[in-house]
Amino acid sequence: MTQARPESAGSALLLVAVSARMLAQSAARGGYASIAVDGFGDEDTLNAASQHVAVADFDAPVCLDELSAFVSSKDVCGVVYGGGIDTRPAWLDKLEAGWPLLGNSPATVHRANEPHEFFALLDRLAIPYPEIRFEVPETLDGWLRKSACGEGGMGVRFLAEPGRLGPCEYFQRHVAGRIGSLLFLADGQDIVPIGFNTLWTAGHDPAHPFLFAGAINRLELDAAQRPKLNEYALKLTRALGLVGLNSLDIVMDGEVCRVLELNPRPSATMSLYDEDFPAGLLRAHIDACRGRLDGVVALQGRVRAFRVIYAPRALTLPFDKRLPIWCADRPMPGACIAAGSPLCSVQAMGTEESQVLSLLAEREGALLTWLGI
């Protein structure tokens, strides 16, 4: 049975992200009508959202102006932003000026994304992180060049030659450990940990060796590491006034969990837990933004994982066949996918981690066979 919509009748949430599918599906689970604004317009997003607005170029000012003009005639009760928007201050400012912002403020996002300020904050809070520099290291080997303005690992690469840093860039020593994250809810003063995750990177593009490739909602941590990560999230929440869903990315350096970055908005790992919440995690995110964490109980639910599939060559999807149901972010029939671009994601769920990983690999192979690759 569809739940009654928790906002006023006829109103809708405005969901804005480079890919809004996850937000739209969680909104539907919670009974919200939604206007999804993203750059993909995939089948799953169109099925979940009440309306969809396609954005061809998030960096083109005209797109932001056109969106504002379109949405101004709609009854919008609030806006939730996702990946790709937190790194675009003009979008955050425009959204905050137009509608109630259900998420961290632009000022908070700036403090989390500006490298000088963020790493100085980690120092004050005694939170460990890999060594960083704002000047070219004496030796290039073992260093990364990173941009806090990128998303999905696009702005991370090995340091191959010296050069001046651009805006929001810095150098960071490479730590070759497992990459993980903590997804948590915050109300400005307290947190509720939702889950610990292992993050994967893709290896198909040498120019972007840390491109995000998926995640599983399991991360091997000992009895001391879990509370330590929760402590880091709590310290950052109180220092920055974090609200709603946030994600803390870390790298395992021996027994030390070193913080890589804070994503001050719902992250992709939200999809690994949404089904554990009958009204969806977006409802919990909105409640937390309004200062309500009461009643949120994070469960160690089923093992879930997804892997992003990048097109190995240019593809045109057939009109007469649909991608398998265990895919998400499914392009519309006839869609043209450029080589190296995200095609879709493959999902798997089970009771054991090994079972889920095996099923995920099997489905990835089946998808490529289905596509004739």
Q: Which tens digit of pLDDT belongs to each residue from 287-301?
A: 999 999 988 887 788
Sole residue written with tokens 């070759």: 176
Q: Determine the Cα–Cα distance for residues 118 and 112; give it in Å rounded to an integer.
A: 5
Give the pLDDT confidence of 82-102 residue by residue, as tens digits.
999 999 999 999 999 999 999
The residue among 332, 362, 336 whose CA lies nearest residue 347 is 362
Q: What is the pLDDT of residue 330?
A: 96
Residue 8 has pLDDT above 60, yes or no: no
Q: What is the pLDDT of residue 69?
A: 86
The residue among 241, 200, 248, 242 whose CA lies nearest residue 226 is 248
Q: What is the pLDDT of residue 3?
A: 33
- Do the bridges between strand 191-201 and strand 51-54 make them parallel or antiparallel, or are there none, so unpaired? unpaired
The residue among 133, 198, 123 whose CA lies nearest residue 159 is 133
Q: Determine the Cα–Cα distance for residues 317 and 368; give it in Å rounded to an integer.
A: 12
Mapped to the 3 state alphabet, what secondary structure does 311-358 carry?
CCCCEECCCCCCCCCCEECCCCCCCEECCCCEEEEEEEEECCHHHHHH
Give the pLDDT confidence of 249-285 residue by residue, as tens digits.
999 999 999 999 999 999 999 999 999 999 999 999 9
Residue 4 has pLDDT above 80, yes or no: no
The rounded percent of the chain whose pLDDT value lies above 70 is 97
Q: Report the mean per-residue pLDDT for the chain.
A: 93
